[in-house]
Amino acid sequence: MKLQDKVAVITGGVSGIGAKTAELFIEEGAKVVLVDMNAEKGKAFEAELKAKNADVLFVEANITDEEQVKNIFKETIAKYGRVDVLFNNAGIGRVQPTEDLEYSEWRNTVNVDLDGVFLVAREGIREMLKTGGGTIVNTASMYGWVGSPGSAAYNAAKGGVLNLTRSLALEYATRNIRVNSLAPGFIDTPIIPEESKEQLRSMTPMQRLGKSEEMAKAVLFMASDDSSFMTGNTLTVDGGYTAQ
């Protein structure tokens, strides 16, 4: 058991990569706080996991709202008393030519994919400092490393997450908080529209989409003591895309 009795907060924890990571963390002994703005899906997933005897709590929150983010940790501390692992994973993405991109849409994407990641990380760090440390994994994207047409806001935000990760890692390196990021390639989750899947598969050197389970294993490595000397870095798990 790699996370025995650890308390893990997972944003975007009721769908795709976050949900599979929640299941793996539970298998590895963790108590998991599922955070999402989708309350219906959240309550259903919480009930499904509880039926399998998992120790879980669902907290509804929009990660762009500072008070709601504070409440995630208030509820976590009330139930479990500490935060050992934070998988800072909720995000949105949309493809749109830049000449058609409204400023409000740019703001919305950067607000969720970068500002939200900061807000959640800050509150997580505040709690970890009280209890002697922890680990944080931020979900970036392979499009934090490289560019692509039609995703200016998303790619800028994800590039920001990679450097936010490095900066936080250095800031807390001597205070036992390790901060790393995951850079997924194209992963078969609800974020990818059905009609895009074939094109994205063919763009991937391994000629398939990744699975959420494959992301979860990389997240577990970074969240657990298996990566005890790794901080400020990124696992890029993309079927070879950024090797091109």
Ligand X SMILES: NC(=O)c1ccc[n+]([C@@H]2O[C@H](COP(=O)([O-])OP(=O)(O)OC[C@H]3O[C@@H](n4cnc5c(N)ncnc54)[C@H](O)[C@@H]3O)[C@@H](O)[C@H]2O)c1
Q: Does 91 bind ligand X (CB under 6 A)?
A: yes
**x-or-dash pattern for ligand X, window 60-89, by CB under 6 A?**
--xxx------------------------x
Q: Are 83 and 76 in contact (CB under 8 A)?
A: yes
Q: Are 87 and 13 in contact (CB under 8 A)?
A: yes
Q: Does 116 bind ligand X (CB under 6 A)?
A: yes
Q: Does 124 bind ligand X (CB under 6 A)?
A: no
Task: Say how far residue 64 (Cα) sits from the centre of its chain.
Answer: 14
Catalytic annotation, pick one of 80, 103, 143, 154 = 154
Would you call 241 a catalytic residue per the annotation? no
- CA distances 114 to 52, 110, 111, 188, Å, are 34, 5, 6, 22
Q: Does 21 bind ligand X (CB under 6 A)?
A: no
Q: Does 36 bind ligand X (CB under 6 A)?
A: yes
Q: How far is the CB of 87 from ligand X (least distance, A)?
A: 10
Q: Does 191 bind ligand X (CB under 6 A)?
A: yes
Distance separating alpha carbons of residues 14 and 189, to the nearest angstrom: 11
Quick one: 236 exposed, middle or buried, by C-beta within 10 A (0-12, 13-18, 19+)? buried
Q: Does 10 bind ligand X (CB under 6 A)?
A: no
Contacts of 189 (CB under 8 A, 6+ apart): 15, 16, 17, 212
Q: How far is the CB of 174 from ligand X (least distance, A)?
A: 29
Q: How far is the CB of 37 from ligand X (least distance, A)?
A: 4
Q: Where are the alpha helices (DSSP H) in the chain?
A: 16-27, 39-51, 66-80, 103-110, 116-131, 152-171, 197-203, 212-223
Q: Does 190 bind ligand X (CB under 6 A)?
A: yes
Strands 177-184 and 85-88: unpaired
Considering only 135, 141, 224, 231, the residue that binds ligand X (CB under 6 A) is 141
Considering only 3, 7, 17, 223, the residue that binds ligand X (CB under 6 A) is 17
How many residues sit close enough to ligand X to count as binding (CB under 6 A)? 29
Q: Does 219 bind ligand X (CB under 6 A)?
A: no
Q: Does 165 bind ligand X (CB under 6 A)?
A: no
Active-site positions? 154
